[in-house]
Amino acid sequence: MGLRAIARHLGWGRHTVQRYARAARWQDMVTGRRTRTSRLDLHRLFLQRRIDETDGKISIIELRKELADRGHPVPYSSLRDWARSRLQWPHAPTPAAAAPSVRTVVGWITRHPDTLTEDEGKQLKAVLDACPELEQTHELVRDFAQILAQRMGADLPDWISSACDAQLPGITGFARRLIADLEAVIAGLTVHWSSGGTEGAVNRIKKIKRQLYGRAGSDLLRKMILLQSPSATAPQDVAPSQPRPTGHVHAPTASPQAWPPSVDSPGRGRPCPQ
């Protein structure tokens, strides 16, 4: 099989197949991105020797000056980037792990503690230890989640007082807005009844209204709502069919195979009584 046929079979480019065919081993093709050559590679031994002689205390500015004295001036940024990736520096600090993003920390705080992995729990603890305000926010969020999950509406006023005293952005404003309709909020967090059925009916009416593209009046909208109401579409009890009286001649119904009727059939496609 030729290289073109292999490329068509695999869905690869022809040049990619050629590189694999010319490689001595397939491992040579999966080593990752190739390192581009640089003109500074010619001075690698000299620069590495200078770093070892000074125990890594020589700076990039000094290395650049020594290269310029040898007749090879290079830009500072090019030498800096090249030296960081190509040269070995003794006592080089270990790069610090990337800090978690704000979205990640918010997810850890709002999720149930049982759903966090061991590593996520350790990272969350480190973040909370570094920020006392965030630790207080975490406690308020956990308390509110417990009130919401266990329907402990009687504890809501105490939680609102604690949230207002904390003076935390977001949490304090949310708590103050709950005071405007406190009785309804407490009832929603205490009793098992809800307005879910009413909200569902309102959403169904809005959906029907949007389907009409704003072109229907109130009469047509009323008919559409009544026709699509759950009571209209619910199956009803059908009375058992009564036996037909004898001696009555019925017209035979057309079989599914007879549809559509031919043009030459009598009655323009309607079955004729026998």
Per residue in 181-231, pLDDT (tens digit) is: 889 889 888 888 877 888 888 898 888 888 887 777 888 888 888 887 765
pLDDT (mean) for 248-258? 42
Per residue in 26-55, pLDDT (tens digit) is: 666 665 555 677 888 888 899 999 888 888
For the cut 90, the answer to whether the pLDDT of residue 144 exceeds it is yes
pTM (predicted TM-score): 0.44
The per-residue pLDDT for 220 is 85
The per-residue pLDDT for 231 is 57
The per-residue pLDDT for 143 is 93
Position 140 confidence tier, pLDDT thresholds 50, 70, 90: very high
For residue 78, give the amino acid letter: S
Q: Does 216 or 74 have the greater pLDDT score?
A: 74
Whole-number Å distance between alpha carbons of 135 and 149: 21
Tokens of 149: 């999950």
For the cut 80, the answer to whether the pLDDT of residue 92 exceeds it is no
For the cut 50, the answer to whether the pLDDT of residue 272 exceeds it is no
